[in-house]
Each structure stands twice: as C-alpha cells, then as structure tokens.
C-alpha cells in the first residue's frame, strides 16, 4: 500500500533559460535581507529604495516584468537573480530589517510556511536560536533552503563573525552533512574562474537534469573570493557534491564548491561564494561585480537550476530508490483507548515524504490506519483490554515504499482503569519575551474522568494556578495552563490562564509540580537549561502522554516546536 499523502513534485522540462512562466506560478521565493546583507560594500538584496533597508516588495512591481526587462529594473545587486526568477514565473519577496523569521506563527505575514524557497545571501550577523529553529523546521517540513556563503574573513560589519561561520552555526543540531571552511581551515579563501569540475552523476539536478539546461564544459562558476565545503555522507547519506575546485577531485568530500542535501521532506543547496549571484546594479556606496551576467560563466543557469530543484523539480531522472525501513518502533498504551508510537526516522536518496502506520490484532494481518509526516503517532479510538501490534513503513515523494519496521505491541488497560493526571509538556522559554505564552500541559492518561477542582500548579517558588470549581478532566484529555489568558492561542478551548497572572518559569531551570486539592504532590518535574534553552521549543514526554516517558525537546518527538492542548503531532486529544 502507498501512503495517503504525497508531496507534489513539479515536472519541469529542460527548456533553456527562459522557460514557460506558468511552470512556477504562485511559487514564492523569499530573499532574507535582515542580517546585514548591505553592510560595508555588500549589496546582497533585490532592491533597496532606502539605504540599508530592502523593502518587502521590490519596486517597481514585479507584475511589470516581461521577457525583455533588464536587471536594472530593481536597485539591488541581486536584482538580476530576482528578475530572472520572476521571468520563470516565481514570485519573489525580501524579508527586510525589522522582519521576523518564524515557522508556524500565524501572526507573522512573512512566516516561512508561506514560502517554498528561502535564500540566505551571505548573512553578516548571526541567526538567533529561535531563527535557527524556524529555518530548520521550514526545511524539515518541505521547504527549500539556498545557503550562499562567502570566503573566510568576509566580515562586512566587523562583528567578528563572517558568513561561513554564521551558516555553520545555523546548521547546529541538524544533520545536513555540509560544513563551510572557515579561517584557519584549508581552502577558505580562493579564486577559481572558471570553476567547472562537474560531478559524473548524470542525475544531478544542478549540472545535468535541471530545467534550464546544462552548464558548459570550461564555464561553470566564476568564483572570486570563495570558500569551499567539506561534506559528510556519514552524517547525511543524501548530501552530494555537484561542482569541485579545479584543484579538487570529483566525488571527494573536500574542496566542494556547490552541494545539495535533504532533511525530512525539504531540500538544501549551498555555494561557497556570493559573487556568482550578484550583478553591478547597486547604490548607497556599495561595490559589486557583474557575476550573474558575465557570459564567461554559467552562474545564472546553475543558480536557477538550484532554485527549481529546491522548489520541487526533481530533474529528468525518475526516483526508483525506496527509503530505508523505519527502526526502533516502540508502542505504549496511554489509556484504554489510545496507544502512542514512536520510531527512528528513515533515510532516502531524495527525501522521506511520509510514514505509513499499520495495525493488527493478531500479529498476522495488518491494515493501514494512518499516514504521518513525523516519527510519532497516537492511535486512538481503540478497544479496552486489547493487544495491538504495529509496523511502520516510509514513503518518498516518488511513491517508493520502504520495507517494514520491526513489530511493536501494546495492550490497552480496562476501561475502568483509574484516572491518572501527568505533566506532559512544559514551555518555559517563551517565544520572544512574551511570558504569557509559557504553559504547562496536563493529560489524564487513565481510563476515567477526574474532577481537578482545587488542584494547583506550582513552580519552585510559589503556587501559580488553582483550578476553578467544576473543572473535570476526561479520560485521555488534556488541559493547558498558560502564563495568562492573553497567551492562549486563538481557537484553543482546553486552556486557562494562570490564576496568579504568571507561571514564572525559569529559562535556566525550575521545578513544576502538580498538587491535588489536599496539597499532595500528583506529579513533578525538575528541568535544566538543556530543555529550556531554545526560544519557543517546549519539553515533552517521550513517548507523548507516557506516564513513564522522559522529558525531551519537543523537536525530538515531532516536527512542531510545541503542541499545547494537542498531541505532539498536532492532532486533537
């Protein structure tokens, strides 16, 4: 059986640089421009009407671009890149100074969920922990990320950080298999023009099967002050080099100048120099080269092929390789009607799209019951006093299904099992500085309802909330206490604001305790900064809603950063 959900891959023919605009209609590309992309002599923006600030929408409007529109239509050194994308049918925007990098924040009009491709043109200031988490979540959930670095010691704003270091830090905590060489490491600053030592892999969407043609022998990239990359297939078997330094070896893990990788259902492209994507359109005292329009190189073609691949074009070779089988499948009964599952992710030559969950009551005949994007699932609506068996497979976007995982089983308790309320999720380090959004989630994992009137939630210093009279928590249900009612997300009904007006949870560590009406401890958890050090990322039981499960970062059990009032996967209790 194939999965119930598929990521959509656009089939784009190999037609040359112009191509039909309709192929990418409504596909939105975001150029990040809020990390000092105009510092010093830099000008890595689409358009800059006011010096130092790239507005969200370049002017004049992109709707006026035709096949003959020159790159001087806009005023940034990445105007050629942007105008060329619009000619292909893409829609482009800048994320300007004062913007926010978020993933899944409906209050942010430029939340990354609204875009298919994110381009990071030589950032000169570091990404915050929350920004890194948002970008990583964007990729893992199907986004395309283009990292454009520059040479070592290219610190435009003199803050002691240059783009290779910043992009390496961005990749902290993920396994993309890419490392930009930095000052003190080999090949961190060199010129190589033309740089045309191409991969021999004829399925390469950058060199051979891209929709805008093949780079020519002896042309390739014009690198003027570049760093190289070192790749690690042991970290990510899907990382690939496509172009190497003239002094490099095709297929080697070092001296790579253009690379790709995958994570979850998302894709990553990386280049070691910002010069090939820039043009000479600039102002405000900036100085740039005409890399994009230089006919001696195939800079434009290579970059456009990369964006098409990031947006979903797989190239001309069909993907027939199935993902590896999921492993370490575990199952635990959360209540008389629910079993929680968790497993280790599969790998794939392109990317895993989804997982199929199969269930059986005789350990012989299995039926598909769910298709999910993450590595956990809560199977609900089950019968009490029953043993259930589970297996999981992985699918990629080309409908290739893996072999089955190991079999895991769990027995649901009787329906009359007593109520058991646990602390299931805690968000101590709120997004930004809005402490109203701190929360503690309680779940009744027992088989009967329970009246929690007069029960209280404490931190290490004081009582922060007392549940009102008449508060009943049903079997298998959750209730969330937020720092205040103002922090409760719109539409979330199983939540209350702390009666003390705050939860006062410490970001560097604290103890959360649940007490019943008689002041007896029901559940308690003491956490450290390792679980509360990331803005907007909660700590959650693993497996979710397991009374014996350990607390881990929420991103370890789900693609979401938190899930107040819902299961870790985002589905309803």
The pLDDT of residue 151: 93
Q: Quick one: average pLDDT of 177-196? A: 95
**Nearest of 313, 316, 301, 311 to residue 84 by alpha carbon:** 301
Note down the domain range covering 376.
327-411
Mark which of 360, 380, 411 sits at the end of a domain. 411
Q: Which residue has the higher pLDDT, 129 or 22?
A: 129
Domain total for the chain?
A: 3
Q: What is the pTM of this model?
A: 0.55
With a cut of 70, say whether residue 13 has pLDDT above it. Answer: no
Both tokens assigned to 30: 């975001």
Same domain flag for 123 and 170: yes
Same domain flag for 333 and 214: no
pLDDT in tens, 235-292: 999 999 999 999 999 999 999 999 999 998 899 999 999 999 998 787 777 777 787 9
Both tokens assigned to 40: 């010093």
Give the CA distances from residue 5 to residues 38, 322, 333, in Å, rounded to whole numbers and listed in that order. 42, 16, 26
Strand pairing report for 266-271 and 472-473:
unpaired
**Percent of the chain as helix, strand, coil, to the nearest 5:** 10, 30, 60
Mark which of 411, 432, 460 sits at the end of a domain. 411
Where residue 331 sits, what CATH number does that domain have?
A: 2.60.40.10
pLDDT in tens, 549-572: 999 999 988 889 999 999 998 888
CA atoms within 13 A on the CB side of 478: 27
Same domain flag for 495 and 515: yes
Contacts made by residues 285-288, CB under 8 angstroms, sequence distance 24+: 285/41, 285/51, 286/38, 286/41, 286/42, 286/43, 286/77, 287/41, 288/41, 288/43, 288/77
Angle at 218 between CA 215 and CA 222, to 5 degrees: 75
Q: Quick one: average pLDDT of 22-31? A: 72
Mean pLDDT across the chain, nearest whole number?
89
- For a pLDDT cut of 90, what percent of the chain falls above it? 68
With a cut of 60, say whether residue 3 has pLDDT above it. Answer: no
The pLDDT of residue 444: 95
Q: What is the DSSP string of 44-57?
A: -SS--SBTTB--SS
pLDDT in tens, 169-178: 999 999 999 9
Same domain flag for 51 and 136: yes
| Alpha-helix runs per DSSP H in 175-250 | none
- pLDDT confidence band for 399 (50 / 70 / 90): low
The pLDDT of residue 529: 94
Same domain flag for 277 and 295: yes
Other residues' Cβ atoms within 10 Å of the Cβ of residue 109? 10
Other residues' Cβ atoms within 10 Å of the Cβ of residue 469? 8
Same domain flag for 401 and 464: no
Q: What CA–CA distance (Å, rounded) separates 247 from 225? A: 15
Q: Which residue has the higher pLDDT, 116 or 352?
A: 116
The pLDDT of residue 350: 67
CA atoms within 13 A on the CB side of 543: 23
């Amino acid at each position: 059986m194939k999965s119930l959900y598929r990521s959509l891959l656009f089939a784009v023919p190999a037609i040359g640089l112009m191509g039909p605009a309709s192929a990418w209609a409504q596909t939105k590309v975001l150029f990040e421009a809020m990390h000092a992309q105009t510092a010093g002599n830099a000008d890595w923006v689409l358009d800059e009407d006011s010096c130092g600030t790239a507005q969200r929408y370049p002017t004049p409007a992109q709707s006026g671009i035709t096949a003959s529109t020159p790159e001087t239509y806009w005023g940034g050194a990445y105007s050629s890149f942007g105008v060329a994308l619009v000619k292909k049918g893409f829609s482009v925007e800048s994320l300007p100074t004062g913007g926010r990098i978020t993933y899944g924040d409906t209050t942010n009009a430029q939340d990354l969920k609204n875009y298919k491709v994110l381009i990071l043109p030589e950032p000169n200031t570091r990404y915050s922990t929350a920004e890194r988490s948002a970008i990583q979540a964007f990729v893992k959930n199907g986004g395309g990320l283009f990292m454009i670095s520059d040479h070592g010691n290219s610190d435009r704003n003199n803050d002691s950080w240059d783009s290779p270091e910043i992009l390496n830090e961005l990749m902290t905590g993920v396994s993309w298999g890419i490392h930009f060489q930095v000052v003190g490491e080999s090949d961190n600053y060199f010129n190589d023009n033309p740089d045309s030592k191409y991969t021999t892999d004829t399925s390469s969407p950058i060199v051979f099967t891209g929709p805008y043609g093949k780079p020519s022998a002896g042309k390739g990239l014009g690198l003027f002050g570049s760093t190289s990359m070192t790749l690690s297939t042991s970290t990510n078997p899907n990382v690939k080099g496509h172009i190497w330094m003239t002094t490099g070896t095709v297929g080697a893990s070092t001296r790579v100048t253009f690379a790709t990788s995958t994570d979850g259902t998302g894709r990553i492209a990386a280049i070691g120099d910002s010069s090939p994507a820039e043009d000479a359109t600039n102002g405000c005292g900036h100085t740039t080269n005409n890399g994009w329009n230089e006919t001696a190189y195939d800079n434009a073609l290579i970059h456009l092929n990369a964006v098409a691949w990031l947006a979903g074009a797989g190239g001309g070779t069909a993907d027939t390789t199935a993902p590896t089988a999921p492993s370490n499948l575990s199952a635990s009964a959360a209540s008389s009607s629910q079993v929680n599952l968790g497993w280790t992710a599969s790998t794939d030559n392109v990317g895993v799209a989804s997982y199929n969950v199969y269930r059986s009551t005789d350990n012989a005949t299995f039926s598909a019951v769910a298709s999910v994007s993450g590595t956990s699932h809560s199977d609900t609506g089950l019968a009490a006093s029953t043993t259930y068996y589970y297996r999981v497979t992985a699918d990629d976007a080309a409908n290739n299904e893996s072999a089955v995982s190991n079999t895991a089983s769990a027995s649901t308790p009787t329906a009359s099992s007593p109520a058991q309320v646990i602390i299931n999720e805690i968000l101590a380090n709120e997004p930004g500085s809005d402490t109203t959004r701190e929360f503690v989630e309680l779940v009744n994992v027992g088989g009967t309802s329970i009246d929690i009137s007069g029960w209280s939630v404490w931190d290490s210093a004081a009582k922060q909330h007392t549940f009102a009279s008449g508060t009943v928590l049903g079997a298998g249900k959750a209730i969330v206490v937020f720092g205040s009612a103002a922090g409760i997300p719109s539409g979330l009904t199983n939540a209350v604001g702390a009666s003390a007006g705050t939860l006062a949870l410490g970001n560097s560590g604290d103890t959360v305790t649940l007490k019943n009406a008689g002041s007896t401890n029901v559940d308690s958890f003491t956490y450290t900064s390792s679980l509360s050090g990331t803005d907007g990322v909660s700590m959650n039981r693993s497996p979710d809603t397991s009374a014996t499960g350990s607390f881990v970062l929420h991103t370890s059990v789900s693609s979401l950063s938190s899930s107040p009032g819902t299961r870790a996967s985002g589905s309803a209790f």
